Structure 1
Amino acid sequence: MSTFSHLNAQGEANMVDVSEKSDTARSALAKGYLVVSQAVIEGIATQSVKKGDVFAVARVAGIQGAKRCADLIPLCHPLALSKVDINFAVDDANRRIEVTCLCKVTGKTGVEMEALTGVNVALLTLFDMCKAIDPGMRIEGVGVVDKQGGKSGHWQAGSNT
């Protein structure tokens, strides 16, 4: 008998049964960074990146990534997301682009994996669109920073609860 939630009694991978859980409003906010060269920041600012509007394309990619999370992560439940919001902030001083992904759902399970997938797909898309300018970019600091709903209530990164 296993104490892991995603293993059955025989130790095999198993999707958790959430059928008895109540539907509640849930949200998760994930964040990550793409560390870039000054040339990338300038290319984005002047809209001279040859592949086009990097933020528009990465936003759509991130939304699509969040929606397809259960297709990518084997034991995630498919969710009918009610909101996916991808945002970008250019941090000139630290030569990086911050990407956030907020996901919301009313359901039986949380949306942390969807928010993380959305952030990662948006970051990978930014990388793809800018790699001709700077192949040495790197993704860092990806994580959930806030989640609400369900049995555990509200949690924020850095809090002890």
Structure 2
Amino acid sequence: MIVRPLTDHDLANRGELATRTDVELLVRSFYRYAAMDELLGPIFSAAHVAWDDHVATLTDFWAWQLLGERSYIGQPLRAHEPVHARTPFADAHYERWLDLFVSTVDEHFIGNNAELAKHRAQKMATALRKLLRGEYSAASEPVEATFATSSDQRICGPPHG
């Protein structure tokens, strides 16, 4: 799903997802689309999202995921539980979220971190869906997010979204 048709100029001007400013552009652009989306918008509306705080938190989260910056504090998968209780997420919500996220990445960025962002978004959507459906049991393999570090080594941590 492309959020808007891309021109040759748009495609030629995409760059690497390499700085915190790039991450903030991704987050702001994505949530602008998501908030106005006919399927996702009502969820954000019902959650009474404080957009400035939400964008700052998600910028911290994605800067951690993609750049190894350690400014994020929280458990984003668990943070979605109250919203899900008010407005239950269906498969279509996860699919639309992921489609919009991937399209937003593709609209603005190319390169390794752009691909990493799309991969991490897929993992996050899968982990959130499993958590909110209660699909974790004693026999289940835990879903762990992998976080980038500045030296590009990988660190496993508790589930986040």
Same fold, judged at TM 0.5 (above): no
Which protein is bigger by CA-based radius of gyration?
A: 1
More helix by share: 2
TM-score (norm 2): 0.38
Return the TM-score normalized by structure 1.
0.38
- Structure with higher RCO (Cα < 8 A, 6+ apart): 1
Which structure dedicates a bigger proportion of its chain to strand? 1
